[in-house]
A and B are shown apart, each in its own frame.
Chain A
Amino acid sequence: MFKILAACGAGVNSSHQIKDALETEMGNRGYNVQADAVMVKDITEDMMKNYDLFTPIAATDLGFTSDVPVVDAGPILYRMPAMAAPVYDAVEKVIKESGKG
């Protein structure tokens, strides 16, 4: 199981769209992925340790450093395949490199 943390300002709309899109697309590509959606302000160093990938809407300063790979997922929000594909490919690359999923 490959675990993804999606985040946005309110934890309501954008992060849930990223979560749904990544779970669906990575599932279609044959990976076992689970994503959670949270507010950026709620993310702690301890929380981040539970995830294999961080996918914020935009580049985000969390106030701490983390070894968890980061893929900015904002372009997924457009719901246009041409814009989402590079993000999906970047996520798939991290999954492959992790050996999980």
Chain B
Amino acid sequence: MSNLATDPLFNESEVFISDASNQEEVFREVAESLYKRDLVTEDFINNLLEREANYPTGIDMSVVSPKIPNIAIPHTESEFVKARMIVPIKLNKPISFHNMIDPSKEFDVKFLFMILNNDPEGQSNILAQIMDFMARTSENELVSFFKASDPKDIYSFLNRKFMQYAKDNN
């Protein structure tokens, strides 16, 4: 039986380094690739854009540490995805996002954890795992991680840390 809490949430082939300069550009770049790999539906991109406009997903990390870049967790409703995973996207150019818990605020984001979740009732919460990663990984390790420019390094670090924290929680 699958143990969702320790199942890998990352795929080495689905790690992006993007030169996009705005939300729509990076969303279209990633969504096109995910659609080609049959991980999302054709309507995924439209729901992604609409949802981010109405319910933003930027997370202000300055409240945790000013050294750690802000992140965002773009995602859609379950019906538009065919997998349960996180797609890491490093942004070479900071992109502006609105704050999820206070949409009137806006800030630059340097890394996206795009969530594909076709099983919202799953025993482990993907967003909780992302926030555990941000809260439990040391500041020095996070600073180094967010500077990484090789998709393999990004994948390896995330996979190792998420597995470690999931096992600790079990």
Give the B-binding residues of A (Cβ under 8 A). 8-14, 16-17, 20, 37, 39-40, 57-59, 72, 74-75, 77-80, 83
Do B100 and A37 touch across chains, with their CB atoms under 8 A apart?
no
Interface residues of B in 69-117 (CB under 8 A from A): 73, 75-78, 99-103, 115, 117
In the assembled complex, 6 residue pairs joining A and B whose CB atoms fall closer than 8 Å, in A order, are: A9-B54, A10-B51, A12-B78, A57-B55, A77-B100, A79-B135
Contacts of B117 in A (CB 8 A): 12-13
Do B125 and A13 touch across chains, with their CB atoms under 8 A apart?
yes
- Please give the distance in Å from B149's CB to the nearest CB on chain A: 27
Name the prevailing secondary structure of the B interface residues. mixed
Interface size class of B (residues with CB under 8 A): 20 to 34
Do B75 and A10 touch across chains, with their CB atoms under 8 A apart?
yes
Inter-chain residue pair count (beta carbon < 8 A): 73
Residue of chain B at shortest CB distance from A20: B125
Do B127 and A14 touch across chains, with their CB atoms under 8 A apart?
yes
Give the A-binding residues of B (Cβ under 8 A). 51, 54-55, 59, 63-64, 73, 75-78, 99-103, 115, 117, 120-121, 125-128, 131-132, 135
Do B64 and A16 touch across chains, with their CB atoms under 8 A apart?
no
- Please give the distance in Å from A100's CB to the nearest CB on chain B: 25
Do A17 and B128 touch across chains, with their CB atoms under 8 A apart?
yes
Residue of chain B at shortest CB distance from A77: B131
- Please give the distance in Å from A53's CB to the nearest CB on chain B: 17
Residue of chain B at shortest CB distance from A83: B63
> Given the known A-B contacts A74-B102, A77-B127, are A13 and B75 also in contact in the complex, defined by CB atoms under 8 Å?
yes
Do A10 and B125 touch across chains, with their CB atoms under 8 A apart?
no
Do A8 and B55 touch across chains, with their CB atoms under 8 A apart?
yes
Do B132 and A79 touch across chains, with their CB atoms under 8 A apart?
yes
Do B103 and A58 touch across chains, with their CB atoms under 8 A apart?
yes
Candidates B54, B64, B115, B125; contact of A78 at CB < 8 Å = B64
Contacts of B121 in A (CB 8 A): 16
- Please give the distance in Å from A49's CB to the nearest CB on chain B: 24
Do A39 and B101 touch across chains, with their CB atoms under 8 A apart?
no
Residue of chain B at shortest CB distance from A37: B120
Residue of chain A at shortest CB distance from B122: A16
